[in-house]
Amino acid sequence: MLDDLGHITRLGRGVDAQGRLADDAMDRAMGAMREVVERARAIHGVRTIVAVGTSAMRDATNRDVLIARAQRELGVTIEVIDGAREAQLTFCGALPRVPEGESTIVDVGGGSTEIASGRGGRLARSVSLDVGSVRLFERHLRADPPSRAQIDALLADVDRAIDAGDARFSGSLIALAGTACTVAAVARGIEPFDAGAVHGTSLSRDALHDVAMRLAAMRIDERRATPGVPPGREDVVAAGALLLDRIAIRAEVSSIEISNGGVRWGLALEHLAPGAGGC
């Protein structure tokens, strides 16, 4: 991996309720893509840019507006992928850390959560659930701080999604990307937030539960001042942590492993080492 940039654009804000991408959200997404594309071309001499859209773009009726802007302004084609492919790429993105035995990979996104399982680095089963940190925050956590009733409603929503998707868990649990790395950073008090500092570490289920409940009990301004919470994630991080905690409980694991991998890593592997692990 030559470079790894991350931006919180909140592209999915309001999509669950309105079914559309907001103009300011598309502007933020374009700004982030422009920075990444220009850096890739100017510094690394990249000729081929691969881009995918996930949950927010799947659900948005006006996704073609953003697709057209990316093509016109950056010369980049965005492929909107379905949940099954997103889950596959999630699994592929975790391959560097997947053990030889059975394992389940979880990626809590803003609008959806991907759960993929396999053995020895070979994908066996995957599912995409229509619950994520932004979606759950907007649906349920309206008070600041959230009420116990709102937290319970969020957890019930997660349980329904897991049951409806027939999500299954086997072996070790590896949690990927922003929510997982943030929870691990909060547990360790890492300031400023650094995903690389928690990549490859483990977190006990008790520690995960403690962080989730602490974040849920805080006001948004308190989360903003909490070591380990990156700017732009303070409002939705409690919802994401509660979701991840519920998954760990349902998976009946004693700990989770943290990875900074994800869809972008899966895409890179798919193009650079096709066929690896079914990618």
Domains identified in the chain and CATH numbers: 15-80 (3.30.420.40), 97-264 (3.30.420.150)
Question: Is residue 182 a contact partner of residue 243, using CB atoms and an 8 Å limit?
Answer: no
pLDDT bracket for residue 265 (50, 70, 90): confident
> pTM to 2 decimals?
0.88
- Please tell me which of 7-16, 43-52, 212-221 the model is most confident about, judged by mean pLDDT: 212-221
- Counting every residue written for the chain, the total comes to 279
Does residue 278 register a pLDDT over 60? no
Average pLDDT over residues 168-172: 90
- For the chain, what percent of residues have pLDDT higher than 70? 96
Q: Mean pLDDT for the chain?
A: 91
pLDDT bracket for residue 124 (50, 70, 90): confident
Residue 203: its pLDDT value, please? 95
pLDDT tens digits, 203-241 = 999 999 999 999 999 999 999 999 999 998 999 999 999
Least confident residue range of 77-86, 89-98, 115-124: 89-98
